[in-house]
A and B are shown apart, each in its own frame.
Chain A
Amino acid sequence: DAGVTQSPTHLIKTRGQQVTLRCSPISGHKSVSWYQQVLGQGPQFIFQYYEKEERGRGNFPDRFSARQFPNYSSELNVNALLLGDSALYLCASSQGHLNEKLFFGSGTQLSVL
């Protein structure tokens, strides 16, 4: 079975641009979470979706938004990019909303110039 897949793997944008990151969970998993990880720090929670509904939101500005589709895949959108948005964006899936074991994709490395 395929694991969690994320696209693109790398992305370079300039300040003020918008970006969309994509994630496909493990087959059968209904929950998707997004994390931002800056080098040297732990992953910071951005959003969690379960059954296409937002179940949790971290301390990120409204420039960050996400959605989950009927096939449980998800997109993370970031508008008006800032230099500080440069980070590794990780998607994690789990079987249900019980937030047990998280399975991570390999991430999207976003660089904002």
Chain B
Amino acid sequence: RKEVEQDPGPFNVPEGATVAFNCTYSNSASQSFFWYRQDCRKEPKLLMSVYSSGNEDGRFTAQLNRASQYISLLIRDSKLSDSATYLCAVPKTSYDKVIFGPGTSLSVIP
């Protein structure tokens, strides 16, 4: 099993739709989790951090399920500008390397 796996996508959704991505991780000792957004041929940029059960920032909600070892990202009222690849990132421990998933591609269509 890979250390971090994500929904393969691509997700093609209309403007205004709600879309959710899942990310599973293998290391039960991981304490923090991150979602990054990456636009085509650009660097990843931090979208959200998740340290406890979840986090919400405007239209974006991240939830953590430690028992099942997955985190999800929910995007409400999708905008065209949300089109990007969303990367899940999990540090193995607080003092260890950060492992990225393969990413989930989202295209929001008019």
- Residue ranges of A at the interface with B (Cβ–Cβ < 8 Å): 33, 35, 41-45, 48, 55-56, 58, 88, 90, 97-107
Contact = CB atoms under 8 A, between A and B. Distances in A.
Interface stretch (B37-45, B54-62, B75-83): B37-45
Interface residues on B, range: 20 to 34
Contacts of B42: 106
A45 B97 contact: yes
DSSP majority for the A interface? loop
A42 B91 CA distance: 15
Interface of B: 4, 6, 32, 34, 36, 41-46, 49, 87, 89, 91, 94-103
A104 B95 contact: no
B103 A101 contact: no
B43 A90 contact: yes
